[in-house]
Chains A and B, each alone.
Chain A
Amino acid sequence: MSKQIISTNFDKADAHKLEVYEKLGGYRSLEKVFKMKPEEIIDHVKKSGLRGRGGAGFSAGMKWGFVPKSIDKPKYLCVNADEGEPGTFKDRKILQLDPHSMIEGIITCSYAVGIHTTYIYIRGEYTKPRIRTQAAIDEAYAKGYLGRNILGSGFDLDVIVHRGAGAYICGEETGLIESLEGKKGEPRAKPPYPAVIGVFGCPTVVNNVETLSALPFIMNEGWEAYARLGTEKSTGTMLFSISGSVERPGVYEGEFGVNLWDFIERSTGGVRGGRKLKAVIPGGSSAAILTAEEAGSTNLDYESLAAAGSMVGSGAIMVLGEDDCVVKALRVIARFYAHESCGQCPQCREGTYFISELAERLESGHGDQSDIEKILDTCPMMMGVTVCVLADSIAIPARSYIEKFRHEFDEHVKQKRCPYDSARAPAVA
């Protein structure tokens, strides 16, 4: 079993309850936190190398450091619990099984940055995680971990749960901010970045749930202990949500720097039904696909995956077995992005829909070679040109699917049908 930092409490009964969480050593880091100066904490987190776990992988400590120190406006922390990247289901685990670890992290971050109000933006569908989180917050208030003068430190903090209403784009930090303000979740043009002008026109930190949950360990054990784990630039561990055609899908915590396929096989028991591996999508549906060979030769960390032309993203690993259809996978994710595009930028609004139509035609066997070419021509037109990266999130995978599995697309055109036709197979658990 690899090192566990964030998921240690997942298998402990009732760890979502304060009493149990405390017995497991919970909230212990706060004593240390309140003895430190805020800037010391930021420095501590910077040195740990902790990177944002929402997908972008930006240094958490640096993000906090961008917030102006002295400003006559309130500052806010928005916890991004709008988990929506296809393949990702780790934050749901934290919210439901170990919400106090996130709250402990929230207190640390808020104290370090000088924040007195935190909003936890939880996606609308997550009812039970939301109820669990609210209950945990209520308990924390009752026990003096939240509210006025926390643990006699003189520090005040309110934590408010905000429910989303069904929009993937609200997982983008400025989309989340717009949504929290009561608007459509349309990402903002940057600059200004949220650290300067965020929610309600005030400096704002947006952090993923998992990022915050890693803080108690970093504060308790020291940044050195965290930085020792993983690789030089990808320190620590990450929760990997592994799904698709594997024997035992689930959330597995892993140290960075291990072999990608080794980690998947060790954690999940390999491809379902003993079939052969076809491909791995390593970082959520926005990531470029890796062939079986690439998955076997790539390490699981930010640099290695970037070098392989893909990314760690939100740590959502999806596995395709030998009889899973890559064209269909493209059709499904293209439809997802077309459905979730906010519609501000023409490239995304029109491009996602166009690729979705083309992929559907190809998958159904009615497409021709020009459709494949059209997708390839469209992708670069959508990259690096929009307000947020949603357009890139379909352009990058779409291009990689075709480039790496061109023969499957060609077969669909040639046979005028899907050679896998898995749709006819019965549902299996």
Chain B
Amino acid sequence: MSEQVEERTGEPFAFNEETERKFQETLGKYPTKMAVLLPALWLAQEQNGYLTDAILEYVAERLELSPVHVYAVVEFYTMYHRTPPGRYHIQLCRTLSCTLCRMEGIERHLAAKHGLHPGEKTDDGMFSLELVECLGSCGTAPVMRVNDVYCENLTLEKVDKIIESCKAGTQLEEDPMQPH
């Protein structure tokens, strides 16, 4: 027998007090425990930053689901992290409108100037870059999402500014949304 299913990862996990409170609140909003799975995984990810196998088992137990169900669900969706992302996780959109607006230039610039490559994390753990499909901000392409913040109408200069702000620890702000 050559291969093994991956080793189980992660230290023992439990919701902290605040997460537990939110979890209890969420339970009341759905008629089944299974329906709380996506919200519970979000809560776990907010608390821990990413989802280890131990966390999946914990969530499964809390919701009376099988661990493998939880695992399959986590692997289906793209926004649950199975390994720690960078402190600033950058999602750069690569779909049609962004491509028509030259997102490749942004991608090359992030690599050449800032050493950020798709699917990788910087050695200092500061940034990780992921190329993603349509972020739903095509009117302001090219666009990327830095943690929770949409950075729109990107230019090389704007990208530089964003990276500098992150390094300086400044809170990123979304541009005000235009009526069109």
Q: Which residues from chain B contact A93 at a C-beta distance below 8 Å?
A: 177
Pick out which of these stretches binds chain B: A42-50, A142-150, A243-251: A243-251
Segment of B26-34, B118-126, B163-171 in the binding face: B26-34
* Total B residues in contact with A, Cβ cutoff 8 Å: 62
Name the one of B31, B72, B105, B133 contacting A425, with C-beta atoms under 8 angstroms. Answer: B105
**B136 adjacent to A89 (CB under 8 Å):** yes
Q: Contact at B78–A167, with CB atoms within 8 Å?
A: yes
Interface residues of B in 69-115 (CB under 8 A from A): 69, 72-73, 76-80, 91, 94-97, 99-106, 109
Q: Contact mask B123-155 → A, CB, 8 Å, 1/0?
A: 000000000111111111110010011100111
A416 to B: closest C-beta gap in Å: 20
Q: Which of A81-140 contact B (CB under 8 A)?
A: 83-89, 91-93, 96-97, 123-128
* Partner pick for B156 among A85, A243, A426, CB 8 A cutoff: A426
CA distance A320 to B33 in the complex (A): 47
Answer whether A164 and B177 are a contact pair too, CB < 8 Å, given A89-B137, A333-B95: no
| Contact, CB under 8 Å: A184 / B73 | yes
Q: Could you tell me if A84 and B136 are in contact, using CB atoms closer than 8 angstroms?
A: yes
Given known pairs A89-B138, A92-B137, A340-B133, the reply for A429 and B153 (CB within 8 Å) is yes
Is A163 among interface residues, defined by CB-CB distance under 8 A?
Answer: yes
Docked complex Cα distance between A150 and B153 (Å): 42
A332 sits at the interface (CB 8 A): yes
Contact A427 B79 (CB under 8 A): no
Stretch from A26-34, A174-182, A229-237 that touches the partner: A174-182
Q: Is A324 an interface residue (CB 8 A)?
A: yes
Q: How far is the CB of B134 from chain A (nearest CB, A)?
A: 4
Q: Across the interface, name the chain A residue whose C-beta is closest to B78.
A: A166
B167-180 vs A: 1/0 string, CB under 8 Å?
00000001001111
Q: 5 A-B Cβ contacts within 8 A? A: A165-B38, A166-B79, A281-B96, A336-B95, A426-B156
Q: Which residues of A contact B (CB under 8 A)?
A: 7, 10-11, 74, 83-89, 91-93, 96-97, 123-128, 160, 162-168, 179-185, 200, 241-245, 248-252, 267, 281, 285, 316, 318-320, 324, 328-329, 332-333, 335-336, 339-340, 342, 422-423, 425-429
Give the top 5 A-B pairs by smallest Cβ distance, nearest first.
Answer: A250-B180, A427-B105, A166-B78, A182-B37, A166-B79
